[in-house]
Structure 1
Amino acid sequence: MKNILCHSGRANNIAGLVILILLVPALTASAQDPFMQYPDIQGNTIVFASGGDLWKVAADGGTACRLTFSDGRETYPEISPDGSLVAFTGEYDGNADVYVMNIDGGNITRLTWHPGMDEVTGWNPGNNKIMFSSGRHSPSRYVKMYMISPDGSGLEEMIMYDAARGSFSPDGKKIAYNKDSQDNATWKRYRGGRAQEIYIYDLAKDTETNISNYGGSDRWPMWIGDKVYFSSDRDRVLNIWSYDTGSGKIEQVTKHSEYDVRHPDFGSNHIVYELGGDIWKLDLASGNSAKVPVRILNDMEERRPFMKDVSGDITRADISPSGSRALVVAR
């Protein structure tokens, strides 16, 4: 099978033309509406991931500034409590490890060196350490949470036996956490034993309490004031809910119906989250949420037309009635 010239519009290469026609609208839409993930907010700054790199934008939106330039993926950015640093999971050396950099980019430092995946989950405001989850000590495939200082010192394993993502109470005496992480699983409205539940662990008493008691998915706990906010599919679509630590009352906060709320994070009395590839911001004082308008100006080399050998990816082909042309589907 010959190479298909993806940027050619020649009539005698109908397969290449079809691929070009299919690609161009998608690329145009992508350029106008960038796909954004893993947002975090602190003060007037939002950091997020798009196209495998990290970007920064004002909390009210605008043109984003690129922070990382790497062939590997940079994900799970978390801004430090003082707003000066960004911790994230990076693949600069092939493996997914914990890195930290300045809020404006630069001075990128690798902090972990284990061959297992290390997923950054936040900062401990009590000791300014970076929290991350890892299966590095997991012969039975469970994950634990760890903390490490921004200079790479003071690595410590948190006491919970099985913990994937957590958020400390304001006084640092308790932590709300998920024991399991199924966030990347392609499950919709799953009910069963692998569903995520949220627990509160009392560090002084060495006790835990299940605050979910729900057969579906409660994930990404965020302890803000006297409430634990989290995403849940209690109304069949993932939305932001809250749990009052005093009364135990659970309330729905957002009411999106088309797309799931993904990867929520918090700071400065706001929660930011991913919704259909866009970034949304929830004002906790008013309860109102709105899309954050973000522009990404980038040459995006991966979107340029290129030569591609599709001989191993052909799924269907057909010949025109005259026998002079062929239509090939490859993906």
Structure 2
Amino acid sequence: MKKSVFILLLFVAGSLMAQETRLLRQPTLSGNKVAFTYGADVWVTNLENNITTRLTSTGAVESNPVFSPDGKTIAFTSNRSGTNAVYTVPVEGGTPTRLTWYPAGATVCGWTPDGEQVLFASPRETAPSGFKRLWTVSKNGGPEILLTKQWGNNGSFSPDGKKIAIDRVSRWDVEWRAYRGGQNTPLVILNLADMSEELIPNEKTTDINPVWLGEKVYFLTDRDWTMNIWSYNTATKELKQETKYKGADVKWLAGNKNQLVFEREGFLLTLDIASGKTTQLSISITGDFPWAEVQWTDVSQRASSVSLSATGKRAIMEARGEIFTVPVENGNTRNLTNTSGVADRSPIWSPKGDKVAWFSDAGGKSYSLMIGAQDGLTPPKSISIGE
């Protein structure tokens, strides 16, 4: 039999929804504006008129945006120079200013309360293996100053700037749910005058992302097995659970005055501290996204679950979430599913070769068994499998 080589081409289309854009990440809040990252760029939305502006547009990864206390500037992390460094950009947009130049990476954590310095974490000048410590740099650039020799992956200053809440350890797997290993350390309240420490009560849980507002330190913790927002009153030493979500974790936390902003399930939400009311923000993203353009993609190197039909004339296979059949010698390649955004898996022929079956997560809730004609000309039948 003559050996033939077939190239599978998949027509890929990125769907940019006009409403309720998801995968919005790392929010920060100032007055009527919320900044965040989407597609590795920094954006800002005016919550009064719901107008969203793109502040950065590069092939680099931009992350960790934080508003200055006066709300006029956003500090963020970018690897546009080849390594992570601290940058600032006006909230109205413009050319970003680079503040750190050390070869080791730097990750933005926040600002000093007076808005004169940017707080960042960096593993520079540590040995034998690198660990992060907290540094500051002037908003105008200049020498970078080590804040404390204490380990520091993230931090948030008290309103008077005399203390700082520190998350000491960087996690090697930030998505490890219900982790109870050695990376879980208590959040530390460090007195910058005498370097004395107060530990926020911890039960070997993952406590991260401290945000100091007023007398309370707000933070994320999975002590009820789902990552929720809790608070620690520095005066009364009281712990309080602020949100009580089940299932999906809260992923990020920031705040300003009497409001918190956080990320959950790809959406951004605010929490009014006084009332405890949460509000989901409706943000629409429009822009030029090269990574989402319609394109042809060769997926022949990603074919799996390959099998021959009963006649031996065609083969079926899965590639990049689509189900294809290809001729062994003569004929055309067929994409039986052509369902962008759906994962179609594990195809198999029927004994007679007139039908094919596969699993699909169409609908987004669970996998179903799909049975359809081998020519793909009629809609397949969906059978629930209870998963």
Matched residue, 2:106: 118
Q: Alpha-carbon deviation of 1:242? A: 0.5
Matched residue, 1:101: 89
Q: Secondary structure at the match of 2:231?
A: strand
What number of residue pairs does the alignment pair up?
Answer: 315
Which moves more between the two structures, 233-242 or 101-110?
Answer: 101-110
- Deviation sequence 1:4-26 (CA, Å, 0-9, x none): 3322xxxxxxxxxxxx6xxx6x8
**Aligned in 2, Cα 1:63/1:323: closer, same or farther, shift over 3 Å?**
farther
Structure 1's consecutive aligned runs of 4 or more residues displaced over 4 angstroms after TM superposition are 28-32
Is the Cα–Cα contact under 8 Å of residues 176 and 200 in structure 1 kept in the other structure?
A: yes
- Deviation sequence 1:68-116 (CA, Å, 0-9, x none): 1100111000111111111100121222111111112112111112232
Which of 42, 65, 72 is equivalent to 1:84? 72
Q: Alpha-carbon deviation of 1:155? A: 1.3
Q: Which structure's relative contact order is higher, taking Cα pairs within 8 Å and 6+ residues apart?
A: 1
Q: Alpha-carbon deviation of 1:63? A: 4.1
Bigger Cα Rg:
2
Asked if 1:36 is matched to 2:24, the reply is yes
Amino acid at match of 1:222: V
> 1:194 and 1:102 mapped to 2: Cα distance?
36
Q: Alpha-carbon deviation of 1:161? A: 2.0
- Deviation sequence 1:182-205 (CA, Å, 0-9, x none): 285231111122114201111122
> 1:238 and 1:203 mapped to 2: Cα distance?
29
Which of 262, 265, 269 is equivalent to 2:258? 269
Q: Alpha-carbon deviation of 1:159? A: 1.4
Q: Alpha-carbon deviation of 1:2? A: 5.0
Q: Alpha-carbon deviation of 1:28? A: 6.1
Asked if 1:177 is matched to 2:181, the reply is no
Asked if 1:59 is matched to 2:47, the reply is yes
Normalising by structure 2, we get a TM-score of: 0.76
Q: Alpha-carbon deviation of 1:31? A: 7.5
Asked if 1:49 is matched to 2:37, the reply is yes
Which moves more between the two structures, 188-197 or 250-259?
Answer: 188-197
Amino acid at match of 2:122: S
> 1:93 and 1:238 mapped to 2: Cα distance?
34
- Deviation sequence 1:160-191 (CA, Å, 0-9, x none): 42111111111111111111122852311111
Matched residue, 1:288: 277
Is the Cα–Cα contact under 8 Å of residues 3 and 308 in structure 1 kept in the other structure?
A: no
Amino acid at match of 1:209: E
Mapping of residues 161-200 of structure 1, within 5 Å: 161-182=150-171, 185-200=174-189
Normalising by structure 1, we get a TM-score of: 0.88
Which of 6, 14, 32 is equivalent to 2:10? 6
Gaps of 5+ in 1: 8-19
Matched residue, 1:304: 293
**Aligned in 2, Cα 1:310/1:6: closer, same or farther, shift over 3 Å?**
closer
Q: Secondary structure at the match of 1:101?
A: strand
Which moves more between the two structures, 216-225 or 90-99?
Answer: 90-99
Q: Secondary structure at the match of 1:56?
A: strand
Amino acid at match of 2:9: L
Q: Secondary structure at the match of 1:302?
A: helix
> 2:215 and 2:191 mapped to 1: Cα distance?
15
Gaps of 5+ in 2: 321-387
CA RMSD of aligned residues (A): 2.2
Is the Cα–Cα contact under 8 Å of residues 25 and 266 in structure 2 kept in the other structure?
A: yes
Is the Cα–Cα contact under 8 Å of residues 269 and 278 in structure 2 kept in the other structure?
A: yes
Which moves more between the two structures, 29-38 or 89-98?
Answer: 29-38
Is the Cα–Cα contact under 8 Å of residues 262 and 270 in structure 2 kept in the other structure?
A: yes
Matched residue, 2:139: 150
Q: Alpha-carbon deviation of 1:52? A: 1.0
**Aligned in 2, Cα 1:146/1:2: closer, same or farther, shift over 3 Å?**
farther
**Aligned in 2, Cα 1:179/1:48: closer, same or farther, shift over 3 Å?**
same
Is the Cα–Cα contact under 8 Å of residues 36 and 278 in structure 1 kept in the other structure?
A: yes
